[in-house]
Amino acid sequence: MRKLFIVMLSLLFFRYSLTAQDLSYYLPDSVTYDPSIPKPKDIIYHEVGEWHVTHDRLVNYMKAIAAAAPQRVKLETMGLTYEKRPQVLLIITSARNHQRLEEIRQQHIKLTDPAQSASVRIDDMPVVVWIGHSIHGNEPSGANAALVSAYYLAAAQGNRINELLDNVVILFDPSFNPDGLQRFSTWANQHKSKNLVSDPNSREFNEVWPGGRFNHYWFDLNRDWLPAVHVESQNRLNWYHRWKPNILTDHHEQGSNATFFFQPGVPSRVNPLTPAKNQELTAKLGKFHAQYLDRIGSLYFTKENYDDFYYGKGSTYPDVNGAIGILFEQASSRGHLQQTSNGLLSFPFTIRNQFVTTLSTLEGARVLRKELLQYQSDFYKNSLAEAAASPAKGYVFGTGMDKTSMSLFVEMLRRHEIEVIKNQTDILVDSHLYRGNQSFLVLLEQKQNKLIRSIFEKTLSYKDSLFYDITSWTMPLAFGLPYSLLTATQLKAEYRKDLIVDRLPPPPLAKSDYGYLIPWSDLAAPAVLNELLVKGITVKVATAKFEFMLGGTVTKFDPGTLLVPVQYQSLRSDDLYDVLHALLRKYDIQGYTVQSGASVSGVDLGSSRFAVISKPSVAMIVGPGVNATDAGEVWHLLDQRMNISASHLEQSVFNRVDLSKYNTLIMVGGTYSELNKEKLKAWVQAGGTLIVTEEAVSWASQSGITDIKFKKAKVAVDSTQKLSYTDREQNDGAQQVSGAIFGADVDITHPLAYGYDHSTVSLFKANKVFMEKSKNPYATPFYYGTKPLQSGWVSKENGEVIKNSAAVIVTTVGNGRVISIGDNPNFRAFWLGGSKLFMNAIFFGRIIDAASGRTE
């Protein structure tokens, strides 16, 4: 009878853990709580884990907590997302610390400044911990656990919580990705049954495309900490550097059949710039996580699967900023209750693990407080000492050709508190001349030395051949900017640190009754062109070089230069000038006034080598099968940077609509099994321009739309070598192209290369699409030579096959063109050097005559 009672009690507890709907399931039972603090159900109308909390209700609860416990909690709004949801941050600490909060913040800033850190006493200085949740919106246990954590930190009573709050300032971020969380919570809740369905095949567990993982533009925000392209990242980084936290937690979810992961990750995949002490402290914190998870009987693992290499993630960005980044990965229930290989996995169970590891992090921070503070101080001191001892003293970068890309790069550097100085004198490095007042300097002897090196350095040697994310992100190459490392001898020119690096507006445009010229070299030039075309203004593009006498000086103009003739326009001369002048000021681009069509040399303005540009009417294929991040990068580029409207067509919609309204179609990486290939081919033959990237290149060839051939890597297997079963993952993984940078040789006279001023363009490759060069000598304007690898890991076999392969091929199909780009030219929206190629394909694809290599 007693055994039966125990079995029944165990079953009752198991059932309770699956459907737990009150706070007692989560909270420590040895703590009393302030009854004046509202519980989550009082504000969000349901128990934690009963439903998925929506972002608006999550924010409402944070506001309620701040209002009810002002002595412990202060609420700040970091900014707004694209969809105008607030990014809130709770600052949680003791009443005593709140009274001197600004003083504590200033102490932490001083601690990261080697010139001032010696004056900071850490004996009674609180440690700062940033608790961050659910940067992937469909990994919701973190954001839902934030409800429990916020309640506990505001309402718990007793010496234990008092001691914690006296020693820790908590920056509490309930949702890294508000837009994604709202999208996913809506999906999960609208498919919940009263009688919970646990079948993984059920609709509740299978979101529609693109899912809730991403932000508004379908971006993975956990890859955006370093490039900081998106407003969510920019808002968060502003507050990160206001406080310089000592620990940042990043609460994620993983596959449903896993358990729970916490760092350290795979030891061989730690970025070499990360100090050993960082991993030592990470391991010490790990002991607290293990202890707390053991108490509740949760399984976990560590030092597997996940790495600390790419500094653009939430768990690694702190590592290069003198802090400890902690990744938590909870097996995901995705909905409310799911059957897994480990049994039934409930949403409340996933929330509890996230809450418990929040507590373990805070306890570890309290115990290790002085060690963490001392590490942060030493990190910046040592970084500065390493810089002083190194023969490398800084970097010079920039060009006067593309001020927009250069400004965005400088803005990105300064967002990470990297000092940037305007270069005053000409500097010649390896036959490249960096003009004074057209280039910039970043000195290595500054506290962000390690982060600077991470941004600028190329990496070609690695301890491991498996990577969780990309293997290289050399940012000047990504932005398409020339740059060079400087020694002390090369940096002999005087410089002033107080020089303003803000961009100066171009000189005003003079009025003309003949025409205007606009160089195509600036990243923003396509945005100007688009607005002109939208207004019905006729614009031509030069397909050959020419020179004009302007202001007594001969000025050279390259192919791609835009000509806006005054005649043949529907606008009056004065109105045309007003429109053009306003656009050039809006985008900070210089235009030139011409009073005659006669050039000094090269083609005249009335030549047939000036082709009329038609307004692109763009559609992109999206939906199931399409890589959402690739599509999001195109959407962001067109919508945010270029102000171009583009239709998004799902494959089923494409199959039934009239395509005649579109002259440009875009297909990014993915699978297109439901697309009507014959309809697409007929549209191209009728004169359409099809732009395909990555796996879509292979699909177009397999579908008979192009005749492109592909190269394949030959992986030799040594039959005499004895391999164990456990070697398989390492060997297979080494043959993946995780993401590396390759330099493509470019025919800069080709319309797809307009705007480039150098014959090598850096492209990012994260696939195994290796195109053979076209037999047409004019149809491969971008191709890889014999030594294309610039930075990153690639296996010997893949390295061989990419040599002498094509990066871009133009194929004539009837009256239309297919532009095949084997790589991702818009990678993560910061690969601006490739975005120029992509915009050329949109605007100039229709003027390419691939058969003869001439324009029509």
**What pLDDT, in 10s, does the model give residues 434-462?**
999 899 999 999 999 999 999 999 987 66
Q: Which residues contact 364 (CB under 8 A, 6 or more apart)?
A: 284, 285, 287, 288, 289
Q: What would the pLDDT profile of 66-124 be if each residue is shown by its tens digit?
A: 999 999 999 999 999 999 999 999 999 999 999 999 999 999 999 999 999 999 999 99
Q: Check residue 507 and give its pLDDT.
A: 86
Cα distance between residue 292 and residue 193, in whole Å:
33
Residue 398 contacts residue 481 (beta carbons within 8 Å): yes
713 pLDDT tier (thresholds 50, 70, 90): confident
Residue labelled with tokens 């047409």? 776
* Structure token pair of residue 772: 């053979």
Is the pLDDT score of 324 beyond 50? Answer: yes
Cα distance between residue 822 and residue 590, in whole Å:
33
Q: What would the pLDDT profile of 716-730 be if each residue is shown by its tens digit?
A: 655 566 666 555 554
User: Before 781, cis peptide (omega within 30)?
Assistant: no
Is the pLDDT score of 7 beyond 60? Answer: no
Which runs of E-coded beta strand occur in 627-728? 646-650, 664-667, 689-693
Least confident of 9-13, 28-32, 132-136, 726-730: 9-13
472 pLDDT tier (thresholds 50, 70, 90): confident
Q: Check residue 738 and give its pLDDT.
A: 75
Is the pLDDT score of 8 beyond 80? Answer: no
Q: Check residue 720 and give its pLDDT.
A: 61
Q: Check residue 735 and give its pLDDT.
A: 64
Average pLDDT, the chain: 92
Determine phi and psi for 421, rounding to 5 degrees.
-120, 140
Residue labelled with tokens 């810089």? 387
CA neighbor of 58 nearest in space, from 92, 23, 20, 85? 85
Q: Check residue 306 and give its pLDDT.
A: 87
Is the pLDDT score of 465 beyond 80? Answer: no
Residue 473 contacts residue 312 (beta carbons within 8 Å): yes
Q: Check residue 459 and give its pLDDT.
A: 83
Cα distance between residue 123 and residue 607, in whole Å:
77
DSSP bridge partners of 710:
771
Cα distance between residue 278 and residue 368, in whole Å:
13
To the nearest 10 degrees (0 to 180), the angle between helices 369-389 and 101-111 is: 40
DSSP bridge partners of 666:
620, 691
CA angle 589, 592, 594 (to 5 degrees): 160
Q: Between the CA atoms of 432, 478, 778 and 682, what dihedral angle is there, to the nearest 10 degrees?
A: -160
Q: What would the pLDDT profile of 671-697 be if each residue is shown by its tens digit?
A: 999 999 999 999 999 999 999 999 999
**Where is 484: in which H helix or E strand?**
strand 483-487
Count of CB atoms within 10 A of residue 71's CB?
13
* Structure token pair of residue 284: 């010490």
Determine phi and psi for 396, rounding to 5 degrees.
-115, 140
Look up residue 182 and give its amino acid. Answer: Q
Q: What would the pLDDT profile of 620-649 be if each residue is shown by its tens digit?
A: 999 999 999 999 999 999 999 999 999 999
CA angle 78, 84, 85 (to 5 degrees): 60
SS (HEC) of 64-124: HHHHHCCCCEEEEEEEECCCCCEEEEEEECCHHHHHCHHHHHHHHHHHCCCCCHHHCCCCC
- Total count of residues recorded for the chain: 856
771 pLDDT tier (thresholds 50, 70, 90): very high
Q: Check residue 545 and give its pLDDT.
A: 96
pTM attached to this predicted model: 0.94
For residue 45, the Cα-to-chain-centroid distance in whole angstroms is 35
Q: Which residues contact 419 (CB under 8 A, 6 or more apart)?
A: 442, 443, 446, 448, 497
Residue 177 contacts residue 232 (beta carbons within 8 Å): yes
Is the pLDDT score of 10 beyond 50? Answer: no
H runs (alpha helix) in 20-51:
40-44
State the first-to-last Cα distance of the chain, in angstroms, to the nearest integer.
92
Look up residue 656 and give its amino acid. Answer: R
**Where is 33: in which H helix or E strand?**
strand 32-33
471 pLDDT tier (thresholds 50, 70, 90): confident
Is the pLDDT score of 851 beyond 50? Answer: no
